[in-house]
Amino acid sequence: MASTTGEDGEVAATSRYPLCNADEREGQRLSLLQKLGDPITVRWFERLGVGPGWRCVELGAGGGSIAEWLSDCVGPTGRVTAVDRDTSLLEPLAASRANVEVVKGDLCELELPESRFDLVHSRSVLMHVPCSDRVLEQAVRCLAPGGRVFFEETDGAPGQELSDAPEPYRAVFGPILARWTWARSIADTLRRLGLADVEDDVRQDPLEGGTDKSEFWKFTLGSVAELQEKALSSEERAAELRSQGLDPGELLRELPAMLALLDDPGFSVPFTARHRVTGRRPA
């Protein structure tokens, strides 16, 4: 099953994003991610003019911080639909706010009502699901005339192109970054689907030790290590990961050295490119 809570710590598996929102560790990790990403996302919402009365969909709502901000912004005349496979962190928000609806479901199976919403947003979600283009089609279909999409997704090219990467970085992050290629196609797909004013704002995003971002990755890699250790106890599971370019044994061997680099303020390498793609359904 494809998860609807994909964040940048995803590691490919049968369940493409196998971490569970209800786990205490995952809740802490999502809090760190929200701290890193929410201020930028909110600035983009303000740039797009999101305001009272807007009807919004948050795909892969995760910990709920963006759905909460949208709820405050659109007010009682607006509506926020928060979609996730794991809604454990979203239920309190829906219980306390009349303008928030929580939908539990897999994005690959989700059918959104046609011509209904003024904004469809996701952040670090669609890059992890196997049906990403189908979700884009659903997003365009559910927009009301004049409605906007805003997708924030990551491309792993900068880190992949680093020729002199430290060995722990290459071993731990190389297979992950190699999978992050979908984001670069979003803008062309939205144009093909008929959206106007499509813009793809691309910003380089380095990885530096001793920062909030490195702390997020320490949490993420700890969760990944637990999954890899479990994989090593199952030959079938380990073989599946190796077929996807992941070597559980190598990751676990190099992980302590990588964690040490993440604590080192002198560590800095090219990492990802962040695509923030917007588009408008013609009125």
Q: Is residue 2 domain-resident?
A: no
What crossing angle do the helices spanning 24-48 and 212-232 adopt, rounded to 10°? 130
For residue 48, tell me if it sits in a domain. Answer: yes
- pLDDT at residue number 9: 42
- pLDDT for 122 equals 97
Query: Within 10 Å of residue 226's Cβ, how many Cβ atoms?
Result: 12
pLDDT tens digit sequence for 160-177: 888 888 999 998 899 889
Average pLDDT for runs of 10 along the chain of length 283: 39 40 64 90 98 98 95 98 93 96 93 96 94 96 98 96 90 90 97 98 96 90 67 58 63 89 96 98 94
The strand pairing partners of 204, in sequence order, are 273
CA dihedral angle for residue 151, residue 204, residue 38, residue 45, rounded to 10 degrees: -50
Residues in Cβ contact with 274 at an 8 Å cutoff, skipping those fewer than 6 apart: 152, 153, 154, 155, 202, 203, 204, 205
Has residue 6 been placed in a domain?
no
Tokens of 195: 């959206």
Q: What element of type H or E holds 33?
A: helix 24-48
C-alpha to C-alpha distance for 259 and 224, rounded to whole angstroms: 13
Q: What pLDDT does residue 50 have?
A: 98
Q: Quote the distance between the C-alpha of residue 224 and its chain's center.
A: 16
At 105, which amino acid appears?
G
* Number of domains into which the chain is organized: 1
CB 7 within 8 A of CB 66: no
Distance (Å, whole) CA 102 – CA 82: 5
Expressed as residue numbers, the domain containing 69 is 24-280
User: Tell me, what CATH number does 201's domain have?
Assistant: 3.40.50.150
**How many angstroms separate the CA atoms of 160 and 145, rounded?**
40
Q: Decide: 270 and 217 in contact? Cβ < 8 Å.
A: no
In a domain? residue 5: no
In a domain, 85, yes or no: yes
Query: Is residue 15 one of the residues assigned to a domain?
Result: no
Give the pLDDT confidence of 123-154 residue by residue, as tens digits.
999 999 999 999 999 999 999 999 999 999 99
Residue 205 lies in a domain: yes
- Specify if 150 maps to a domain: yes
